[in-house]
Amino acid sequence: MAVREVVCLPEEVLRKKARKISEFNAGFQTLADDMVETMRLAPGVGLAAPQVDVSQRLIVVEYGEEEDEEAPKKLYVVANPEIVYFSEEQVMGIEGCLSIPGFAGEVLRAKEVVVKGQNRKGKPIKIKARDWLARIFQHEIDHLDGVLYIDRSEKVWKMEEEPDSPIPIDC
């Protein structure tokens, strides 16, 4: 496993639609392992392959519902993910991104989603997610379509500033 460099705006790969994964070979397994290690070191709760300069439809997510940081977190490695259900109920939440360091923004997202994709072996999986886990999946899957949270946010600001003083981002 190796830590990969996280690319930042204005890298073109962040704005392209990623390619579908068709082979779950050793190269794919290495990419998945490297992405998990990179996400954990960053630290982050999710990472999409375009963020490590690989235009493939792969995301990794690691999140625990417990407030206790020592509580176990669940790791998801999902190839070719797609959201097949969005709840009508939406919630506003603050998001940041490893590819846009130092900034945050408010984003309206579905409270619940159902994600279909493939696991590390290429077998079909289905994940029901709600609250922050649903937000993380929506954020990471957006990356695979070249969409960043700043595209969905009405307010973006520098992290050390207050949310009511938005700062435009040139992108």
Whole-number percent of the chain with pLDDT over 70: 91
Full DSSP string of 16-78? SPPBPP---SHHHHHHHHHHHHHHHHTT-SEEEGGGGT--BSEEEEEE-SSS-TTS--EEEEE
CATH architecture of 12-158: Alpha-Beta Complex (3.90)
pLDDT digits (tens, 9 = 90+) for 34-60: 999 999 999 999 999 999 999 999 999
Catalytic positions are 140
Averaged pLDDT for residues 63-75? 76
The CA-based angle 34-39-43, given to 5 degrees, is 145
What pLDDT, on a 0 to 100 scale, did the predictor assign at position 1? 79
Q: Is the pLDDT of residue 71 over 90?
A: no
Q: Is the pLDDT of residue 69 over 90?
A: no
Residue 88 to residue 101: CA distance in whole angstroms:
31
What pLDDT, on a 0 to 100 scale, did the predictor assign at position 7? 97
Average pLDDT, rounded, for the chain:
92
pLDDT digits (tens, 9 = 90+) for 120-154: 999 999 999 999 999 999 999 999 999 999 999 98
Q: Where are the domains of the chain?
A: 12-158
